[in-house]
A and B are shown apart, each in its own frame.
Chain A
Amino acid sequence: MNEMKLLDELGSALDPAGPLPQDLRRRVLTGAVRPQPLWRRLLAGRAGTRVAVVGGLAAVLTAVVLAAQVIPIGGGEPAAQAQAADILAGAAAQARLQPEVRVRGDQFVRVESVATVLGMNEATRESSTSTIARQVWLSADGTHDGLIRQRPRSGGGDWSETPLPGCRDGVMTQSKGGVTGTQACTPTPGYVGGLPSDPDAMLAHLYRGVDDHPNKNPRDQQAFSAAADLVDEAYLAPASLAAVFGAVAEIPGVSVIGEVTDEAGRAGVAVALREVQGTRTELIFDRASHAYLGTRTVALQDGDGLTAGQVLFSSAVLTVGIVDRVGA
């Protein structure tokens, strides 16, 4: 048989079974058109569905490269793990003191925060740092239109607004540059009720999520990321929030990093997990009360255009509330 004919048949047999991966177009075009937060790229595989942290990154450039300042707490690895458990127990106790709010589907979770984001423009390969003040209104049931509002922290620029279209009857309507389009969707609730209120059940819940959506990251790392995503820029029922902190204490590899200053300048202490990408994601708690303050991701080694100690992403939560209207 002729080898070109054989090659032709081999090619047909090797063809992809279905159409193009749906995600690919978005991956290519958002990567091409918009600078992508570097931390998100590095931590690909994290849930991270909470829309772009930075709308117009290019608008806010500073020459500052943040370096993670950490004052280590004495003691070796076992001690650091035990201390992490103490801090997380304190965080859980603080969480239980929070008011329990009944959240209706038509309400919004309002979170005010400050953040620093290291971004990389895929087109130019240039990285840039932006420090922003941020307010979000997330539709509790995901069917109402929410909003992200951001502005640079220095220089007093205007707020830029990014609408978060709600998903109604499986359809989301987006407007951009005067063009309106619709897209199939499933609602992303801004408030997740019915989460476990017991640390062991929460731990099982976190790992179950990992096993339902496996990726190449280690399971413990994914569970930790899932926990960080649950508490970051969110309202959880006090018992569930406490359960998350209790569960994190059980994830292997979680340990105390040391004393840090959070993005808002508050004295904190960081509990963290080292990630296989050469980064470390920290949950930061108030040094005295152990109340949750925010999160930070730090590069641990040089490479990929980063230097060890460089902060990829840092966010400090200022207020969390439930409101009836966007903009309120």
Chain B
Amino acid sequence: MTATAEHAGDAAAIAASRHDAEAFGVIYDRYATGLHRYAYRRLGPQSAEDAVAETFLAAFRHRGRYDLAREDARPWLFGILTKEIARRWRTEQARYRALSRAAEGDVVEGFADDVDAAVSAQSARGALADGLGRLAAGDRDVLLLIAWSGLSYEEVAQTLRIKVGTVRSRLHRARRKLREALGEDTMTDFFEVER
């Protein structure tokens, strides 16, 4: 993987932070928003904030182990965040249940009001949230990292420390289960997925 300019210098900042702790602020400023948005989608306001704070504190503690050959720190940070989210699985499950109910009119914290207009399939969203809650944890991590974090297949593989082939097979399985949850014919889309 080659580093884009946007992510260049992460390794240098982390290296500097080993001697000058405050240099770590650069890493926070670059990635806090992205990590927070991802965590917020999965966990909701309060837990997202906690998970992101714990992620950066853990990253700081382990900055000595960061592989300085990696220019882009996102896979490393999303990997830590994934573990922090896993620790909050009850919150995440409760969020999907709430979203599933919200399709029937309940209010969910942090759920924008103006979306109704954008989506014809309000009930599909409930089914989708329900389906997300039922996925195996590893499949859900792959699916949501691909869909929501902006990381590539290769980066997701690095994030979760799995092979790219495993990313593909988990994604495939997760998508199939979501389609089942949405009540679509799983056979119709089967070949589309493989492309």
In the complex, the answer to whether A7 meets B128 with C-beta atoms within 8 Å is yes
Alpha-carbon separation in the docked complex, A14 to B189 (Å): 26
Q: Which of B21, B49, B124, B143 contacts A24 (CB 8 A)?
A: B49
Which stretch from B7-15, B71-79, B114-122 is at the chain A interface? Answer: B114-122
Alpha-carbon separation in the docked complex, A120 to B182 (Å): 49
Is A51 on the interface with B (CB-CB < 8 A)? no
Count chain A residues whose beta carbon lies closer than 8 angstroms to a beta carbon of B: 31
Is A112 on the interface with B (CB-CB < 8 A)? no
Q: Which of A1, A31, A123 contacts B124 (CB 8 A)?
A: A1
Is A63 on the interface with B (CB-CB < 8 A)? no
A176 nearest in chain B by CB position: B22
Is B66 on the interface with A (CB-CB < 8 A)? no
Interface of B is mostly: helix
Q: Which of B36, B57, B112 contacts A20 (CB 8 A)?
A: B36
Is B70 on the interface with A (CB-CB < 8 A)? no
Alpha-carbon separation in the docked complex, A4 to B36 (Å): 21
Closest CB of chain A to B182's CB: distance in Å? 6
Alpha-carbon separation in the docked complex, A296 to B48 (Å): 33
Which residues of B, 46-74, contact A by the 8 Å Cβ criterion?
A: 48-49, 52-53, 56-57, 60-61
Q: Which of A1, A2, A19, A31 contacts B53 (CB 8 A)?
A: A31
In the complex, the answer to whether B60 meets A8 with C-beta atoms within 8 Å is no
Count chain B residues whose beta carbon lies closer than 8 angstroms to a beta carbon of A: 43
Is A15 on the interface with B (CB-CB < 8 A)? yes
In the complex, the answer to whether B143 meets A32 with C-beta atoms within 8 Å is no
Alpha-carbon separation in the docked complex, A14 to B110 (Å): 7
In the complex, the answer to whether B57 meets A24 with C-beta atoms within 8 Å is no
Closest CB of chain A to B48's CB: distance in Å? 8
Is A328 on the interface with B (CB-CB < 8 A)? no
Q: Which 7 residue pairs spanning A and B have beta carbons closest together? A: A13-B115, A32-B60, A3-B178, A14-B41, A28-B56, A33-B21, A7-B147
Seen from chain A, the residues whose Cβ lies within 8 Å of a Cβ on chain B are 1-4, 6-17, 19-21, 24-25, 27-29, 31-33, 122-125
Pick 23 A–B contacts, CB within 8 A, sort by A. Answer: A3-B178, A6-B125, A7-B148, A8-B147, A9-B125, A10-B99, A14-B41, A14-B99, A14-B110, A14-B112, A15-B41, A20-B32, A20-B33, A20-B36, A24-B52, A25-B25, A27-B53, A28-B28, A28-B53, A29-B22, A29-B28, A32-B24, A32-B56
